[in-house]
Amino acid sequence: MVGVLAVVRGEGGDVTTDDRRMVRSFAGQAALAVEFARVTADRQRLAVLEDRTRIAEDLHDLVIQRLFAVGLGLQGLSMRVGSDAARERLSSFVDDLDGTIRAIRQTIFSLQESATGATGLRGEALRVVNEAAAALGFEPELMFEGPLDSTVPTTSVPEVLAALREALSNVARHAHASSVHVSLAADTARWRLTLVVEDDGIGPAGDGAPASGGLGTATMTARARRLGGACTLEPRDGGGTRLTWWADLDAHG
């Protein structure tokens, strides 16, 4: 059923056969228009999803592979360079390429996330970061490492997302930052999940002290402890704040 069409007659008026025929004809035309609009919208969404998939595949198969090859070439070249300064310069170029590859991989995931509608930790974290952009005034950088969706217990995901949301809220309210870097990493060697939020703002009130003093940071610490972890807040190299929040991957809250 597309919808319901209600017809009201005036007081004392009669609904004739012609009136009924006209209403049925109008209802049929309206339903046809609604269905046509739905089909058109579905086709447009499909075209967008196909474009996203194509772009993601091109980035993975062409751009990343070429950057990786350039990085390997630079590493090989650095072994033949006699100058220490030149080797260090080449090494910094390789590091920059690695960072670019990680950023492109995150872009690929973002494109695929929009297409698939996945609801794992990666997808939910991406949504939290996107929502925080309005309050921050800019888009935070988000990086993932390790098998997050397959190793983080489902019962721990709400705690992780709440900690991420609170950390970004604190930055928006207190840091006066112009950039934020967020990383979520699943370390299967230590069986640990680590969330790091770094900003270039005014820095924490304490010098390397554990996160404390405010309700938000106290809540984040409590969430981490429930999952067998901890939370620290410390100055960031070059200015700003670095928040590190971690939990055991086998914790069940």
What local confidence, expressed as pLDDT, does residue 214 receive?
63
Three-class HEC string of the chain: CCCCCCCCCCCCCCCCHHHHHHHHHHHHHHHHHHHHHHHHHHHHHHHHHHHHHHHHHHHHHHHHHHHHHHHHHHHHHHCCCCCHHHHHHHHHHHHHHHHHHHHHHHHHHHHHHHHHCCCCHHHHHHHHHHHHHHHHCCCCEEEEECCHHHHCCHHHHHHHHHHHHHHHHHHHHHHCCCCEEEEEEEECCCCEEEEEEEECCCCCCCCCCECCCCHHHHHHHHHHHHCCCEEEEEECCCCCEEEEEEEECCCCC
What local confidence, expressed as pLDDT, does residue 162 receive?
93
List per-residue pLDDT tens for the chain, 253 residues long: 667 777 777 676 677 787 788 888 888 888 888 888 888 877 877 776 677 777 777 777 778 788 888 888 888 888 888 788 888 888 888 888 887 877 777 677 666 665 445 568 888 898 899 889 889 998 888 888 888 888 999 889 999 999 999 999 999 988 899 999 999 999 989 999 999 999 999 987 644 444 444 667 888 999 999 999 999 999 998 889 999 999 999 865 5
> Closest Cα partner for 176 from 135, 218, 223?
135
What local confidence, expressed as pLDDT, does residue 211 receive?
45
What local confidence, expressed as pLDDT, does residue 181 receive?
93
Task: Give the other-Cβ count within 10 Å of 163's Cβ.
Answer: 27
What local confidence, expressed as pLDDT, does residue 84 receive?
83
What local confidence, expressed as pLDDT, does residue 186 receive?
92
What is the C-alpha separation between 50 and 44, in angstroms, rounded? Answer: 10
